[in-house]
A and B are shown apart, each in its own frame.
Chain A
């Protein structure tokens, strides 16, 4: 287990390094920051001064090291849109909102996916199962941004049950959370269904029935406990999906989170902010995957006690 952890940790570090490298390379691609910052008529000495300040007169690998050093200290530079504001600070201010949205989406997804997934497996090929399969298919086919707008039109503009956008009361949370969570329902439900089918087919379930255990306990205790290990491995991917989903959804609903921040930053070519968001997201996702792997080891006694 320890060996496994160390290997995973190594992979994590490698991935993060690679991400920073890519972001750095793309950053340099986007053009010489000096040219971007300076007005065209700037004098040569001013240019040279700015370049020294930014370390642009150094060879590329030195630049990268400086860059890495800065990142590790959390210094991403100042935002170009709001000069004077630190890029990372902007991200951290808003990350709470995105997390809030993500958690709500997750809860919604679980609340729907687990019962539907279990019932689909238990009543395989029945009407319930077909409905479940269709929900799954639908969920994977609906574009976030479109369904968000449709929701707004139906529930906010026409029915006036919910507010159109922004953040405030819990009513503001409902639509965006459902829009993001819906996609997860589909994937999670499929996973739970297939894991439950496997579990229900197993010999130990047969033995449980032979022991005289009631069917309800067989399903919800014996089978589900085994089946829930599988969707857990999906959690890591799910965090990634939550990140992705939040980007478009926050735009649609004007939710003041990191997703909205990064999209605006991209449009404004505010590279320091884009960098900061990307690295933060990457860290979150990679860490989430790591935690999932650890959790997997904890939950499955076969791995834990290797």
Chain B
């Protein structure tokens, strides 16, 4: 009963005021954290890191962080090979971004394309894609990663490939659903009547409308991907040694947790903060861009 559409007539403040006010509404905490922990170190690693992340001397093994009484040159202590933790974590951000970025880019592109095709052309294409999506999503990613690693070994390439392999289905499913919806809309019908080719309709009309979804989805996936890569590295089937991948460092630190807890703690903390922030950002984006978007 009753229409509840309330749009009160209110005279608003000036446009510039509203812009600054809307800036204030941005979720600054996660944005800052992401910048500090992930983006800035990744870009300026060479300038920020005090030591070489690959070089360590046995003399400086297992030193505690500076704030705990250890040598002041090692802000967060050293690991079992005498390498500076702080520098390694900084360089690790580069690995995290690169791998996550590449994986999402590749997986997202493949998934979006297939989703668009499936949703637009329906028929056989749709059936095949949907079957593949269901199949991919029903097998846990880590299992796939383990099997692949057992088969061809672990490397940067294998990690990125696995991420793409896992992610494409998530994108495909979401994009397909959106495409189905948009393909029925008026402006698509008009474009078709006007004689537009399929490609044109898909890329000029449908794709822009799907972008919002893609942004939210990608933001939410970054968190998952970083943890996933961390897990793979932790298990030894991800980024190979001696690269300073955060997951790898946690794994190394595990054995020394009794005597040198900082080796495992700080890299894991970096992962946690990054993922937390991306999840917060993703939630905020989803609320802003499309409150109707259901969680996949």
Contacts and interface: CB of A to CB of B under 8 A. Distances in A.
Q: Do chains A and B make direct contact within the complex (CB under 8 angstroms)? A: yes
Interface of A: 11, 14-15, 18-19, 22-23, 26-27, 29-30, 137-138, 140-147, 149-150, 152-153, 157, 190, 240-241, 243-244, 247-248, 251-252, 262-263, 265-267, 269-271, 274-275, 278, 281-282, 285-286, 289
9 A-B pairs with the lowest CB-CB distances in the bound complex, closest first: A146-B268, A30-B151, A141-B276, A26-B151, A141-B275, A266-B150, A145-B234, A274-B150, A244-B140
Contacts of B280: 137
A281 B143 contact: yes
B257 interface: yes
B177 to A, nearest CB: 17
Given A143-B227, A145-B231, A263 B275 contact: no
Contacts of A149: 250, 253-254, 257, 264-265, 268
B268 A285 contact: no
B142 interface: yes
Nearest to A12: B138
A145 B250 contact: yes
Nearest to A29: B151
B254 A252 contact: yes
Contacts of A278: 143, 146-147
Main secondary structure of the interface of B (DSSP, over half): helix
Contact of B134 (A11, A29, A243, A270): A11
Nearest to A138: B276
Nearest to A17: B135
Contacts of B135: 14-15, 18
Interface in B224-282: 227, 230-231, 234-237, 247, 250-251, 253-254, 257-258, 261, 264-265, 268-269, 271-272, 275-276, 279-280
A225 B165 CA distance: 38
Nearest to A266: B150
A146 B235 contact: no
B271 A143 contact: yes
Interface of B: 131, 134-135, 138-143, 146-152, 223, 227, 230-231, 234-237, 247, 250-251, 253-254, 257-258, 261, 264-265, 268-269, 271-272, 275-276, 279-280, 283, 295
B130 to A, nearest CB: 11
B146 A266 contact: yes
A152 B257 contact: yes
Contacts of A153: 257-258, 261, 265
A150 B140 contact: no
A247 B235 contact: yes
B258 A263 contact: no
Contacts of A138: 276
A19 B135 CA distance: 8
Contact of B147 (A143, A243, A274): A274
A275 B280 CA distance: 38
Contacts of B257: 149, 152-153, 157
B37 to A, nearest CB: 13
Contact of A289 (B138, B258, B279): B138
Given A14-B131, A243-B140, A247-B235, A146 B147 contact: no
A146 B140 contact: no
Main secondary structure of the interface of A (DSSP, over half): helix
16 contacts: A19-B139, A29-B152, A138-B276, A141-B223, A141-B276, A142-B272, A146-B271, A149-B250, A153-B261, A262-B146, A266-B146, A266-B149, A266-B150, A266-B236, A270-B150, A274-B150
Given A26-B152, A271-B150, 18 more contacts: A26-B150, A26-B151, A140-B223, A140-B275, A141-B279, A143-B230, A143-B250, A143-B268, A145-B231, A145-B251, A146-B264, A153-B257, A157-B258, A241-B140, A247-B235, A263-B235, A269-B150, A282-B143
B138 to A, nearest CB: 6
Nearest to B267: A146
A247 B138 CA distance: 17
A143 B251 contact: no
B91 to A, nearest CB: 19
Nearest to B231: A248
A163 to B, nearest CB: 13
A23 B276 CA distance: 34
B95 to A, nearest CB: 15
B140 A281 contact: yes
A152 to B, nearest CB: 6
A244 B146 contact: no
Contact of A274 (B146, B231, B235, B253): B146
A269 B275 CA distance: 31
Contacts of B251: 145
A145 B283 CA distance: 24
Contacts of A144: 231
